[in-house]
Structure formats: C-alpha cells, structure tokens
Amino acid sequence: AVESRDRLRIAIQKSGRLADPARALLASCGLSWRESRDRLFCYGETLPVDLLLVRDDDIPGLIADGVCDLGIVGRNVLEEQDAERLRGGATPAFREMRSLGFGGCRLALAVPESWSWQGPAQLAGTRIATSYPALLQAWLEREGIVADVVTLSGSVEIAPRLGQADLVCDLVSSGATLAANQLKPVATLLESEAVLAGPVGEFDGERALLAEMLLRRLDGALRTRHSRLLMFQAERNAIPQLLPLLPDAETPTLLQVDGADRLALQALCHGRLTWQRLEDLKRAGAQGLMVLPVESLLA
C-alpha cells in the first residue's frame, strides 16, 4: 500500500557518476535541502521535495513500489529492469519522463581486438559477459542469435582475459576501458544518458501539483543549459545575412539605435554559440557582439 504523502520524494544516486550532476540539476530548479546525519535522506527546505540517496540499481524498484515518486537514473538501468520485468511477465511500473543530457554512454558489444567483425551472426554459440542480461537477451532474440549470456555484476571487461567469456556487452563512453582490455566495440544496443524516471500512472493531490511544477522548472533548466542571450548591433541592410546564422534563436528583438539604419539585436539562442559562429556573425556585419548567460527561463 502506498502511503499518502503530500511531499514529493526523488531518488538519486548516493555516490557515483550521476550523483553530483543530478543534485546540481535539481538545485538549478530552485530546490535546497537539509541533509540527515546518515546522509541517506535530504529534507527539502525551499519546497516539499525530498531526496533519497541510494544505489542507482535500486531506483526503478523504489519507483515501482511507490517509495519514491521520481528518480534520476541511467536509461541503461531503467531499460534493463524494465526488460527484466517484461520477461517475468510483470507489467511496466516506471517510465522515462525526460532525458537529462548528462551521463552519456552506450551499451555496446565489444570483441577482442584480434577479431575481424563480420556482423551479429558471428556471435552464435559464443559466451557474452554482461551486467545487462535482459537487454542483451532481448537484442540476441531480435537478431535471431543463440548465445550464452554470462551475467556478472562488475568487472565485465576483464571476463575475456579470465576465460569466463569470449566477448562482452558493457557500457562504453570514451572506449578507454575497453582499449585497456584489448577489446573493441562493434555494435550498439542502447544509447544511454541520465533520465528522469517516474511511475506509469499519474500522481494525485499535492504531489501532482509538485511534480508538475518541478517538470516545468526542469524543462526551463534543460532548455537554458546551452541557452545564451546574444546581443549585437548591425546596419539594417546586414540583417538578411545575419538571421540565417541564428537558426536556433527565438524570434529576435530588433531595436532601433541612432536613426533608422542602425539596429540593436537581441536573441535567445538555444544552440552553442561557438567562437566560430561569433566570427561568422562578425563577418556578416555584426558589431559589439556580446553573449550573456541565462539565469532562469519560465516559458
């Protein structure tokens, strides 16, 4: 039975790759907390939104059981546990609500560097070490391949050297860990990043309002992550050359300065304003270019 609460509870990783960015993202939504002495619970101060600090593997289950309302976890973990539930005949109990733009990696098959890769058919009869057996099994079935899935909870990449497996299915970001173990990635099963996970059903009462507000703020924070306010001046006749360089800008504001022919432009740009782009703008007639950070945005 789900206790009725009028506070929202979000599960995040206690320590690890997603712990700091998850907290920073929630803090950028205006949340702040007082931490319990055992560092497992953070009591929401500015808003009734509390954090539970846990192992990432526990997050989908906490949502499924209604212990937490939301969670920040890798898509890889969420999809693996979803696939596992599906195999066991259970109905979906959590879903991805937003992708958060950090913790990027992919779940990939990696074979010894000495192999020449001809395609998935080559995997028939091999032993594949992984911490993602449900996702791997589902992929093998889709490809029509029968192979031996060896489930390991950690140090998957050394399994081939230890003779436990012929190849691995593991998370890769830079590929350095694979290379250090003389493995090379050959196929991607899942593109992953940190996601906001929530229950399949709707929230009710106070928590519905809190969740709605949090999502609204989160969308603003995610959108402003790369957003900058761009300002410059230009002659009126240069504007047609300048606007095509700003395809990611929301309707720019044009202000007249010093008579009719000189304009000041300000535009909220959502893509990256690289030096290259600023130089292109300058060449097209922009003067006094200035890029400002966006503190908050409420659509």
Shortest distance (Å) from residue 51 CB to ligand ATP: 14
Smaller CB distance to ligand ATP: residue 176 or 299? 176
> Using CB under 5 A as the criterion, what x/- string covers residues 50-69 for binding Mg ion?
------xx------------
Smaller CB distance to Mg ion: residue 57 or 280? 57
Shortest distance (Å) from residue 101 CB to Mg ion: 20
Which residues make up the interface to ligand ATP (CB under 6 A)?
Answer: 13, 16-18, 55-57, 74, 76-77, 103, 105, 171, 173, 192
Smaller CB distance to ligand ATP: residue 44 or 74? 74
Smaller CB distance to ligand ATP: residue 193 or 280? 193
Please state whether 212 falls in left (phi above 0), alpha (psi between -120 and 50) or beta.
alpha
The option from Mg ion, ligand ATP, none interacting with 173 (CB < 5 to 8 A, set by class) reads: ligand ATP
Residue 82 binds Mg ion, judged by CB under 5 A = no
Shortest distance (Å) from residue 125 CB to ligand ATP: 28
Burial class (CB in 10 A: 0-12, 13-18, 19+), 157: buried
Smaller CB distance to ligand ATP: residue 89 or 154? 154
According to CB under 5 A, which residues from 98 to 157 bind Mg ion? none
Smaller CB distance to ligand ATP: residue 74 or 198? 74
The option from ligand ATP, Mg ion, none interacting with 87 (CB < 5 to 8 A, set by class) reads: none
The option from Mg ion, ligand ATP, none interacting with 13 (CB < 5 to 8 A, set by class) reads: ligand ATP
Task: Tell me, rounded to whole angstroms, the distance of Cα 54 from its chain centroid.
Answer: 18
Shortest distance (Å) from residue 152 CB to ligand ATP: 13
85 in Cβ contact with 93 (< 8 Å): yes
Residue 131 Cα distances to 14, 76, 108, 232, angstroms: 20, 10, 12, 52
Shortest distance (Å) from residue 232 CB to ligand ATP: 38
How far is it, in rounded angstroms, from Cα 14 to Cα 179?
29
Burial class (CB in 10 A: 0-12, 13-18, 19+), 281: buried
Would you say the C-alpha torsion 266, 270, 273, 279 has a positive or negative sign? negative
The option from ligand ATP, Mg ion, none interacting with 125 (CB < 5 to 8 A, set by class) reads: none
Residues near Mg ion (CB under 5 A), total: 2
Residue 92 Cα distances to 50, 87, 198, 200, 201, angstroms: 25, 11, 11, 7, 10
22 in Cβ contact with 13 (< 8 Å): yes
How far is it, in rounded angstroms, from Cα 113 to Cα 178?
10
By CB under 5 A, name the binding residues for Mg ion.
56-57
